[in-house]
Structure 1
């Protein structure tokens, strides 16, 4: 089954990339692309062949992209809502709480960098993180170093 799935991805690479790029917002392409691949993998066994494989790929990819985009929009709307901002203002500042500091910092990062930081904190190797994000191990190490420097300059100082 793995070989057939890999061949299907190779045959439909352009379609999948186009859908991910068309429906993703800035910095979300890699996440959406990975989500589409995940959904294709999860539903691959259920492909019965009643339609052409390309049609099925489009259907799964478009449904995944639309769902992904709706969720991303909802999250952004919630964070920008006056109610969310009012609640944030009412909460007492907890500068000494490490989890709050980390959450604030992660909110300031792009989705990709926040995902990368989570993987780093979970102990994933740069090779494993690179595979998840579809970038090179060197790029992962470089981004981690930049993220660490950014955190240090924001929260630790000189």
Structure 2
């Protein structure tokens, strides 16, 4: 299989992940630009993928690093006011959360970007070792974050049934 075909297949297999990251970090106004930037960075680094991790783990790492760099660049260019305004408008109200996806999105909006990334990868079935590799933190730190995220979800969305 040639490189271009393999790259297209990798994009098709990971498009949902890439789009979610672009939406999460870019929001409504920058999601398309961020998506394109992630695709560009994936293409630029595709030939150097060594196979030491799964292709999905590698995609997460490139996409999250690109998204972080993209956001930092935007902040440096004084677009933070627009970002804060956009983020506050996107916050769903509790009464609007009906289905499980709405509840999950509402919860993820409350998390830091790192915790949202951990949760996204965890829900996508990545092992804690792979998540740790993507984020550059220890496996124990990932497991601790997952436990804390689960506890926070239970406190905010499951509640006391008594």
Query: TM-score scaled by structure 2?
Result: 0.49
- Please say which structure displays the higher CA radius of gyration: 1
The structure, 1 or 2, with the larger RCO (C-alpha pairs under 8 Å, 6+ apart) is 1
